[in-house]
Structure 1
Amino acid sequence: MNTPNPTIPPGGASPLDQLADIHLPPAVPSFPWAPGWWALLILAIGLIATGFWLWRRYRQRSAYRRAAQLELTRIQAIADDAEFARQLNQLLRRVAIHCQSASSSAPTIAGLGGEQWQHFLLNSCGAKPAFTNTTLDALVAAAYQSQCPALDRQQLLGQTRLWIRRHRSQYV
Structure 2
Amino acid sequence: MSKLFESDWGNESLREIVEVEFPEPVPLVPSTPGWWILLLGLVGLMARSLWRRRQRYLRDRYRRDALEQLATIKQHLAAGKQEAVRELAPLLRATAVAAGGRDLVSGLEGDDYAAALAGLSPGKDYLSVSAIGDLQLLAYAPLDEVRGMDTQRLEILMTAMENWIQNHKGDYA
Question: TM-score under structure 2 normalisation?
Answer: 0.72
User: d(CA) in 1 for partners of 2:19 and 2:28?
Assistant: 26
Q: Residues 123 and 37 from structure 1, CA distance in 2 versus in 1: closer, same or farther, beyond 3 angstroms?
A: closer
Once residues 8 and 134 of structure 2 are traced to their aligned partners in structure 1, the CA distance between those partners, rounded to angstroms, is 112
Q: Counterpart amino acid of 1:24?
A: E
Q: Which has the larger radius of gyration?
A: 1
What is the CA distance between 1:73 and its match in structure 2? 0.9
Question: What is the aligned partner in structure 1 of residue 67 from structure 2?
Answer: 69
CA distance in 1: counterparts of 2:109 and 2:66, whole angstroms: 21
What's the offset of the Cα at 1:12?
Answer: 7.5
Q: Distance in 2 between matches of 1:86 and 1:32?
A: 64
Q: Residues 21 and 116 from structure 1, CA distance in 2 versus in 1: closer, same or farther, beyond 3 angstroms?
A: same
Out of 31, 42, 45, which is 1:44 matched to? 42
- The residue type equivalent to 1:153 in the other structure is L
The 1-side partners of 2:95 and 2:73 are apart by 14
Q: Which runs of 5+ in 1 are unaligned?
A: 1-10
Is the contact made by 1:85 and 1:140 (CA closer than 8 Å) also made in structure 2? no
Aligned partners of 2:129 and 2:17: how far apart in 1?
Answer: 95
Q: TM-score, normalised by structure 1?
A: 0.72
Q: How does 1:78-157 map to 2 (within 5 A)?
A: 78=77, 79-81=80-82, 83-101=83-101, 106-107=103-104, 109-146=105-142, 147-148=145-146, 149-151=148-150, 152-157=153-158
Q: Report the CA distance between 1:91 and its aligned residue.
A: 0.3
Alignment partner of 1:33 out of 30, 34, 43: 30
The ranges of structure 1 where at least 4 consecutive aligned residues each deviate by more than 6 angstroms after the TM superposition are 11-16
**Higher helix fraction: Structure 1 or Structure 2?**
2
CA separation in 1, counterparts of 2:21 and 2:64? 64
Residue identity matched to 2:95:
V
The separation in 1 between residues aligned to 2:118 and 2:29, in whole angstroms, is 62
How many residues get paired? 154
Q: Secondary structure at the match of 1:30?
A: coil
Aligned residue in 2 for 1:7:
none
